Chain A
């Protein structure tokens, strides 16, 4: 008996479809709410080579949806933990874990070696970065994203008139529009459904089965269980938002979203540390890993507006959060209150420190 017998006997799939899966390679960006279910089904279907990229570590609040992880995995890197789990189940698949976040520095090299990219990341900077790198490489990109009870799925860079994310949303929204990552609720089953749809699309792209969602944006509302499909067309006017070359791509700062708020790397920030500098963790209690050091003040972003007077004496203020979006919002709020102080946000937040 063959492990793939039940899919090989499917009309339209057969040994040929299975062989294509076996020869295929998929890069999964983010082993989170979308990446976990997508990986489960890509692996079970018999994709030959799978790489998981994620610099994040497992936190307790991840477990309602990130179904590859359990309580024994808290604090461990997600890509390594996911790959370890699968290596025991399916040793014939070539697994690779990259315990880092995707950046302008590593994106080209990472994506180049795979047939399809599945983007299960959880923030706009990464989504635009991955989209742009895939456009430059003409690489099929399976896109999926969620907000509360709704999800979106599409397939980019596939077909004779391919679309990409910038044909739907040419530019990222401003940070003040984006809900804080720590504050958005999610019922685990929604990313489960969207992540499965992403695995399905990736399987269709590599095996040639059916029709992938290219030039279509699929919308799903989990509250009324409704799907809706919208047509997307390539728009030459959106080309200008894309990087023209790899050189242009490497120069871009995808994480910078707030005009006028200066972002620093951790190294630059460390050099500033001193008596008159307030060093502020704006994450909510319980976000992992906790950071403890002398001189660190913890003021969660959710209560910052009521705590502004405690920064009166600081000459400079350095804010950081988990991924670098909230800290830009916090810096903006502080700058409005103290226009004369120097206020910085640390680029990439704790995630940048980990990788």
Chain B
């Protein structure tokens, strides 16, 4: 039985992914997830983004458990 996680994308990242939310098979860690996303959505390769796990911004590779929510955040500069 694969484990699923919820992905939420903001700003330009949602445009590149084509959706604001997505259910994915859990790749196990934030770095594996990043690699998987870059493969699945090559347009993300040129973009800066941070990840938040269960609403906490993560600074380093972090394990992801079943059912957790991952958010992808781009920097905004508009005013």
Chain A residues at the B interface, C-beta cutoff of 8 Å: 30, 32-35, 119-124, 127, 144-148, 150-152, 167-169, 171-174, 176-179, 184, 186, 191, 217, 219, 221, 228-233, 235, 237-238
Q: Are B48 and A173 in contact (CB under 8 A)?
A: yes
Interface size on B, residues (CB 8 A): 21
Residue of A whose beta carbon sits closest to that of B59: A235
Task: Encode contact with A along B17-41: 1 for CB under 8 Å, 0 otherwise.
Answer: 0001000000000000000000000
Please give, as numbers and ranges, the residues of chain A lying within 8 Å of B71 by CB-CB distance.
228, 230
Q: Are A177 and B47 in contact (CB under 8 A)?
A: yes
B39 nearest CB across to chain A (Å): 19
With A34-B79, A147-B78 known, 12 other A-B pairs at CB within 8 A are A33-B79, A123-B77, A127-B77, A148-B11, A168-B50, A168-B75, A174-B46, A177-B48, A230-B52, A231-B56, A232-B57, A235-B59
Instruction: Give residues of chain B (35-74) contacting chain A, Cβ–Cβ below 8 Å.
Output: 46-48, 50, 52, 55-57, 59, 71, 73-74
For this complex, 29 residue pairs linking A to B, each with C-beta atoms less than 8 Å apart, are: A32-B79, A33-B78, A121-B77, A124-B77, A127-B77, A144-B79, A145-B75, A146-B76, A146-B78, A146-B79, A147-B11, A147-B12, A147-B77, A151-B76, A167-B57, A168-B50, A169-B48, A173-B48, A173-B74, A173-B75, A174-B46, A178-B77, A184-B78, A228-B55, A230-B52, A230-B57, A231-B55, A237-B59, A238-B59
Q: Are A191 and B57 in contact (CB under 8 A)?
A: no
Q: Does B10 contact A (CB under 8 A)?
A: yes
Q: How far is the CA of A184 from the CA of B79 in the complex (A)?
A: 11
Q: Are B56 and A145 in contact (CB under 8 A)?
A: no
Q: Are A229 and B74 in contact (CB under 8 A)?
A: no
Of A145, A173, A237, which one neighbours B78 at CB under 8 angstroms?
A145
Please give, as numbers and ranges, the residues of chain A lying within 8 Å of B50 by CB-CB distance.
168-169
Please give, as numbers and ranges, the residues of chain A lying within 8 Å of B48 by CB-CB distance.
169, 171, 173-174, 177
Residue of B48, B73, B76, B78 with most chain A CB atoms under a 10 A cut-off = B78
